[in-house]
Structure 1
């Protein structure tokens, strides 16, 4: 058997095992440096488009050898996840609900993909005892999407998501680096063409152009920061508690695609679309019990509680006023006090106004005082002569 035939046979054995353990799609690529990606990332950084959640070392992000010395091949895997909520609970006055993005439904995908990659790594070492293997999911140095694109899994769309022909962009990605010289797959030629729907639909204009994202404006990023959300974006958050699916939902390549073959990704409707008011009083223990298995929990409860306050302001939920007053007056976290004050101004009413006036005379934090004054300014706007 020739050397190339031997490695092709090894590759086919890996593909067969991947299917056996429930991996939906697998692709292979060379571990050469990502030269074009590096150029794009440098420009991205210069424009201030990074989120701050990325690996800061651009060499590590674009040179696989920096993660595994002697790396020759990259193996990309994808697991499809659901896009539809079965029997979603209704959001209605007095019982308004928020929503988690689909990537946060069910069990945290990092754990599920890591388990699959671990099994795959063990199998590769069983086939080739001299194999060196390094796995990563999302938080690794390499770009999951760049690896997947090179491995022929799909193409990176104008919405910056990897779009696969079979599953659209409803996929979680992970990869393995190995020193085995496995035959690479051919990249997919298909692309977005003239379609620009996602760029036009982005709530904050974060998709600067096809395939380029200003993360600082992205709703998904904004829902995860721990500080105040800049005021110009607060109304755009709507009732999103974590993440944003707009650019995926409008994508024609995702139309009619829904996958439920992985029970671990099946959402609990009460977690995926929770009632807003109970979130405001939730302690750490209760938060961990309810959201601990979701990827939405990685930033802790503060961002989700702040987003719940913004959602109540979005719905102008008068029933939330007493709880928002309590938060504004007593919560030890300035971001929660200030966001509650802003929300009270948005919701309006005499009770909210009186509480804001009282809080203005008592609040010590300059940041929170600014939010209280913003809240009071909404009352002035409503009483200005026409």
Structure 2
């Protein structure tokens, strides 16, 4: 079988195993990306979750000797939730971003890439391959853009004509010289809705993101949420979809294609108060299969506390006081103190005054004082 015919069969096989788009890109170095990444580091815009070595991120030949081609894949995920539960007073709910609905995409894409590797090896025993998803060294978006999967939008997402930006990305470096796809022309035009509606101004300009201000990143951190962002989080527990939901290219892109990514509404939009006391085992059993659980329960619990403060949910005050008085983790105690002050009940004021006398941790004391300041401001008003 010649290579051209095999490539056609590979594309057909990819479709059979649930890959929605596949493209082929050169494994030449990503020189433009290299300049962008260096600039990101100089500006301190990187998240810290990515591979720090710019050379590895931009030179595929460092990751696989004899690298010739990179196969890019994309799988669409849903943007619509059927029978989504609505939060109410006394039963408030949080929200996981769409990319964390259903099965963890890391596992789903790795399974498909493993099948692709086996298919290639069966026809080309001498083929060399290295696959990666999200946590690999290469930039999934740069590879997808070069492979013609979609164009790189102003919000830094890859937008596909078929599925909008609601796609998971992965890639495989190989030594097989496949025929390459052409990159897609940018179709954002003059639109800047994503820039103008970003809650924290994280999209500095078209194509440049300050990850340190991005809510998606902030919800995954484990320390205290910086003060300026606490009122911006809303009820988000993990991730942020604002720059996608406002994008005109995502209109009517429901993408309800793969059953494994369909959300369990009680997981994707869980009740907030039960999260405050969930055990490690319960958290793993309930949320462990979704990608949003990768940092553990602590960031989710902190975000749930902020969400309850956002709603000024009075029913949560007893549980928040319990956290303030008994939780071993300073971030959780301190965030609870801030939330108690934000909600502003007499019971909460008494608890904060009591905690101020007993707390030894300086950061938690600072949060208690912030909580008490809310009451001082209210009395002035």
Q: TM-score, normalised by structure 1?
A: 0.98
Q: 2:353 aligns with which of 334, 347, 357?
A: 357
CA RMSD of aligned residues (A): 0.8
Q: 1:250 aligns with which of 237, 246, 250?
A: 246
Task: Say if 2:140 is the partner of 1:112.
Answer: no
Task: Say if 2:256 is the partner of 1:260.
Answer: yes
Q: 2:38 aligns with which of 35, 42, 51?
A: 42
Partners of 1:347 and 1:147 in 2: how far apart?
A: 46
Task: Say if 2:376 is the partner of 1:380.
Answer: yes
Deviations 1:196-223 (A, max 9, x none): 0000010000000011110000000000
Partners of 1:318 and 1:23 in 2: how far apart?
A: 47
Partners of 2:164 and 2:293 in 1: how far apart?
A: 26
Question: Which residue matches 2:70?
Answer: 74
Question: Which residue matches 1:208?
Answer: 204
Q: 2:315 aligns with which of 315, 319, 322?
A: 319
Task: Say if 2:164 is the partner of 1:160.
Answer: no
Partners of 2:15 and 2:85 in 1: how far apart?
A: 35
What is the 5 A alignment of 1:25-174? 25-174=21-170
Query: Is the contact between residue 94 and residue 271 of structure 2 (CA under 8 Å) also seen in structure 1?
Result: yes
Q: 1:240 aligns with which of 212, 236, 241?
A: 236
Task: Say if 2:213 is the partner of 1:217.
Answer: yes
Deviations 1:263-300 (A, max 9, x none): 11010000000000000010011101110100011000
Pairwise CA distance, 1:138: 0.2
Pairwise CA distance, 1:13: 1.6
Partners of 1:99 and 1:190 in 2: how far apart?
A: 31
Task: Say if 2:359 is the partner of 1:344.
Answer: no
| 3-state SS of 2:103 partner | coil
Pairwise CA distance, 1:190: 3.2
Q: 2:284 aligns with which of 288, 294, 301?
A: 288
Partners of 1:17 and 1:73 in 2: how far apart?
A: 18
Q: 2:293 aligns with which of 287, 290, 297?
A: 297
Partners of 2:261 and 2:179 in 1: how far apart?
A: 32
| 3-state SS of 1:26 partner | strand
Pairwise CA distance, 1:191: 2.4
Partners of 1:290 and 1:235 in 2: how far apart?
A: 28
Partners of 1:21 and 1:58 in 2: how far apart?
A: 33
Partners of 1:171 and 1:17 in 2: how far apart?
A: 19
Query: Is the contact between residue 45 and residue 211 of structure 2 (CA under 8 Å) also seen in structure 1?
Result: yes
Question: Which residue matches 1:16?
Answer: 12
Partners of 1:14 and 1:280 in 2: how far apart?
A: 48
Pairwise CA distance, 1:10: 2.2
Pairwise CA distance, 1:40: 0.4
Deviations 1:211-270 (A, max 9, x none): 111000000000000000101001100000000000000000000101122111010000
Query: Is the contact between residue 153 and residue 186 of structure 2 (CA under 8 Å) also seen in structure 1?
Result: no
Pairwise CA distance, 1:108: 0.2
Question: Which residue matches 2:364?
Answer: 368
Partners of 1:50 and 1:294 in 2: how far apart?
A: 24
Pairwise CA distance, 1:383: 1.2
Query: Is the contact between residue 234 and residue 306 of structure 2 (CA under 8 Å) also seen in structure 1?
Result: yes
Partners of 1:190 and 1:53 in 2: how far apart?
A: 27
Deviations 1:96-152 (A, max 9, x none): 000000000001000000000000011011111110011000000000000000000
